[in-house]
Amino acid sequence: MFIDIHTHVDQYEREDLDGLLERARVARVGCIVAAGTTIASSEKCVELSRIHRSILAGVGVHPQDLPGELGQSDLDSIDRLAADPGVVAMSEVGLDFQADSPDRALQERALRSQLEIARAHRLPVVFHMRESTADTLRVLRDARVGGLGGAAHYFQGSWEEAKSVIDLGFKVSLARPLLRLPDLQDVARRLPLSGIVLETDSYPQYFKSKRERWTEPRDVPVIAARLAELKEVAVDEVEAQTTSNALVMFGPRAGAVRRAISGEREA
């Protein structure tokens, strides 16, 4: 079975989730991680992990969703959520230096605070680093959280950046951009398969004219097939290795992922 290590399926309407999860199951995607972007969405991700056996949760506040400084009550809420057995990652946290993003120093303080929570709960860190790669990796290095595991989510960077991610102890998470970006395809060819995990970053794509064109967890095998072509290996090998990589990445929380894949968790 495949693992989609990063989605935003909490943003879908509840009545849409059953069909989405069934399509994922048919596509052999056995576990889907729903990543929080705010405290409220993190709570929703945890709630979904209690309702749906194939969904597990990531918790955290996205850098573009920071309401200001994360106060102690905010951090206490994230800490409480991080202790839930359905939570398998600190996600989605990081830095975003686009022009419309919050103050950079504020973002860094928020990231460092959330990394401390990740450390306290031994959670892998799935991180966002848009236009901020050097600074994000610097903070991760300073915080010495590489030993927790995790991944650079929706990676689209250079070979040098990918190598830096791997050298710090993290995985490179590939998504649908692999299907269309030649430079990223070159990076994927050079990366060891042991350093790669897969995701879709799924969320409701209302801007697309046809519902069937929305990216969903069912698309993980499509990404895997392209990676297999680039690596000149069988898709089965990509499936087995990336699933193994994800289980390693989730560390102490991997048991919950295995149970989700096997269907052992209560519906």
What is the pLDDT averaged over residues 254-264?
92
The pLDDT, as a whole number, for residue 266 is 44
Residue 213 DSSP SS3:
helix
Gyration radius from the chain CA atoms: 17
The pLDDT, as a whole number, for residue 209 is 86
Residue 267 pLDDT class (50, 70, 90 cuts):
very low
The pLDDT, as a whole number, for residue 265 is 55
The pLDDT, as a whole number, for residue 192 is 98
For residue 247, tell me if it sits in a domain: yes
Q: Which residue is it, tokens 């064109």? A: 213
How many CA atoms, within 13 angstroms, populate the side-chain half-sphere of residue 10?
A: 27
Bridge pairing between strands 29-35 and 125-130: unpaired
| Residue 263 clears pLDDT 90, i.e. is over it | no
Task: Assess contact for 127 and 140: CB atoms under 8 A.
Answer: yes
For residue 234, tell me if it sits in a domain: yes
| CATH at 198 | 3.20.20.140
Q: Which residue is it, tokens 């950079």? A: 104
| Residue 103 clears pLDDT 60, i.e. is over it | yes
Q: What are phi and psi of 11, to 5 degrees?
A: -85, -10
| Residue 68 clears pLDDT 60, i.e. is over it | yes
The pLDDT, as a whole number, for residue 131 is 97
How many CA atoms, within 13 angstroms, populate the side-chain half-sphere of residue 123?
A: 29
Residue 204 pLDDT class (50, 70, 90 cuts):
very high
Give strand pairing partners of 128: 94
Q: In the structure encoding, which two tokens stand for residue 50, read together?
A: 């209690």
Q: In the structure encoding, which two tokens stand for residue 114, read together?
A: 């959330």
Q: Which residue is it, tokens 């398969």? A: 193
For residue 57, tell me if it sits in a domain: yes
Full domain range(s) for residue 114? 2-262
CA-nearest of 61, 81, 85 to 71 is: 61
104-121 and 72-82 are packed helices; what angle lies between their axes, rounded to 10 degrees?
Answer: 40
Q: Which residue is it, tokens 């042991």? A: 194
For residue 203, tell me if it sits in a domain: yes
Question: For all residues of the chain together, what is the average pLDDT?
Answer: 96
What is the pLDDT averaged over residues 84-105?
97
CA-nearest of 5, 44, 8 to 174 is: 5
How many CA atoms, within 13 angstroms, populate the side-chain half-sphere of residue 95?
A: 22
Structural domains counted in the chain: 1
For residue 267, tell me if it sits in a domain: no
